[in-house]
Amino acid sequence: MSKRQISSAKVLSMKEKNSKSQPISRRRFLQSGALAGAGLFFGAPSVLSSQARNAPSDEIKVGFIGCGAQQQVLFSAMRNIPGIHYQAVCDIMQDRVGGAFGRIRATFGYSPNRYFDAEEMLNEETDLDAVIVATPDFWHARHTNWSLEAGRHVFCEKMMAHTIEDARSMVRTAESTGKLCQINHQRRSNPRYRFTMQELIRKNRICGDIQNINGQWNRSVSASQDIDVRETILPDREVLRKYGFADAHQFLNWRWYRDLSGGPISDLGAHQIDIYNWFLEDTPKSVVASGGRNHFRDREHFDNVMAIFEYDTPLHGPVRAFYQVLTGTSAGGGYYEAFMGTEGTVQISEQRQFTDIYRESGAPSWDPLVRRNLLRRVAASAPADADDAVASYESPPLEKYDLPGVLNKPVHQPHLENFFDSLRGRATLNCDARAAFESEAPIFWVNPAADSREYIRFTDEHLTVEGARTAEY
């Protein structure tokens, strides 16, 4: 059955600005979402509370493709959003379909339709408005493109695809069909990130000129083990092979295989490198990387990767950005992105305990920002002993600050709200397919840089949608 023969779905009427995705410039891609969500902000404390809105009258009919662990995460965030009808669930694993079915029925009291094949779901559910794609990376492009061609809007997990060609195809399909496609870089809708970017880094320039970025996501050995379940609940081998898995181990642990995913640098690093590009309003000019299999030596992907991106930004000048992802240790203070400038450093994370803001000793006073409740002062640490020989070479102690509030929702909920608001014509997407592609494109080149141990200088062929032919299905 041809994907183009799938029946078109009924969609909600939208404002003209959302009726068709348009190509956007690099600057617009990096600013998409910078101001569109300003309605979430009611002064700094209210920005960070992100209160729920009244239930809309226009119900959106949603289907899930992929019902594994990430679907559970997304559903836990979506269940708090009014105006959604969960019409269908689909996965090749019966146990997962049953789990998604049960969660919806237990929460809302009705039963979604169940499917084991995505094309069948799209063909049968002709009145779906939107599809949530939460399948392995190497299926993202096919599931997204099929859904868009069938007339559905799509919310797709990141990485948006396993290969850069597949990612290009998603942008082209979204723009040719005029359907909305949001990629789940959820920090772009997080009020804490938006507030930090808009109010602190851009408007008040508390960092001064950003010169370096440091980010990481480190996981312990115990948190990085293979997944294993009872063989009796798994699809049979014929079904697994039909859908691209050599065996049950690949099906459960697809993130470790090079034909199925980009490994830790895309699974974890994509979230944070996206923030580098978003905050800087630019994309890097080059990358050099190193990776190894230090603990999980039988895996195809590196279990640790370190990368350095070089930028030449219009706002800050040259910037070097370091990123590391480790799966053999959780040391080093969790996961965060730190923007280090001449006047201050902002270290931000989805977790409040990993968020710290520091003012350089010679920077202008931040007292006006504290009085306006844009920053909260934290008790200063004790200065080093002046008699210490090492202390005589140290910089003066830094004043420490914090954001004035916390997000009171699941971290994925604001991004999903932005998607559904955009379907209703009340917002624009904070991370559409083109914006996601241009931010993710450098990440596709980290593993090749680590493999070759060569410096890669980016060209349009590396970074743009138009740089190569679209993938075919």
- What pLDDT was estimated at residue 406? 86
Instruction: Answer yes or no: is pLDDT of 20 > 60.
Output: no
- What pLDDT was estimated at residue 352? 92
285 neighbors 458 (Cβ within 8 angstroms): yes
Averaged confidence pLDDT in the chain? 88
Q: Please tell me whether the overall predicted TM-score, pTM, comes out greater than 0.85 for this model.
A: yes
For the chain, give every domain's residue range. Answer: 3-187+411-443, 191-407+445-456
What percent of the chain clears pLDDT 70, i.e. is strictly above it?
Answer: 84
For residue range 342-376, what is the model confidence (pLDDT) as tens digits? 999 999 999 999 999 999 999 999 999 999 999 99
Q: Where does the pLDDT of residue 379 fall: very low under 50, low under 70, confident under 90, or very high at 90 and above?
A: confident
- What pLDDT was estimated at residue 58? 85
Q: Where does the pLDDT of residue 382 fall: very low under 50, low under 70, confident under 90, or very high at 90 and above?
A: low
Residue 422, token pair as written in the block: 């955009």
Residue 107, token pair as written in the block: 């929460």
> Which CATH number does the domain 191-407+445-456 belong to among 1.10.760.10, 3.30.360.10, 3.40.190.10, 3.40.50.150?
3.30.360.10
- What pLDDT was estimated at residue 29? 37
Same CATH fold assignment for domains 3-187+411-443 and 191-407+445-456? no
Instruction: Answer yes or no: is pLDDT of 6 > 50.
Output: no
The pLDDT of 143-166, averaged and rounded, is: 98
What percent of the chain clears pLDDT 90, i.e. is strictly above it?
Answer: 80
For residue range 411-444, what is the model confidence (pLDDT) as tens digits? 999 999 999 999 999 999 999 999 999 999 999 9
Q: Where does the pLDDT of residue 255 fall: very low under 50, low under 70, confident under 90, or very high at 90 and above?
A: very high
The pLDDT of 115-133, averaged and rounded, is: 98
The three-class DSSP label of residue 414 is helix
Q: Which CATH superfamily is 3-187+411-443 part of? A: NAD(P)-binding Rossmann-like Domain (3.40.50.720)
Say which amino acid occupies 308.
Answer: I
For residue range 307-317, what is the model confidence (pLDDT) as tens digits? 999 999 999 99
Residue 253, token pair as written in the block: 């642990």
Q: How far is CA 230 from CA 169, 235, 340, in A?
A: 37, 11, 48
Q: Where does the pLDDT of residue 384 fall: very low under 50, low under 70, confident under 90, or very high at 90 and above?
A: low
Give which of 234, 274, 275 is closest to 253, Cα–Cα: 234
Sheet-wide strand order for 376-378: 376-378, 399-402, 356-359, 344-348, 335-341, 210-218, 317-326, 304-313, 286-292, 456-457
Instruction: Answer yes or no: is pLDDT of 45 > 60.
Output: no
Q: Where does the pLDDT of residue 30 fall: very low under 50, low under 70, confident under 90, or very high at 90 and above?
A: very low
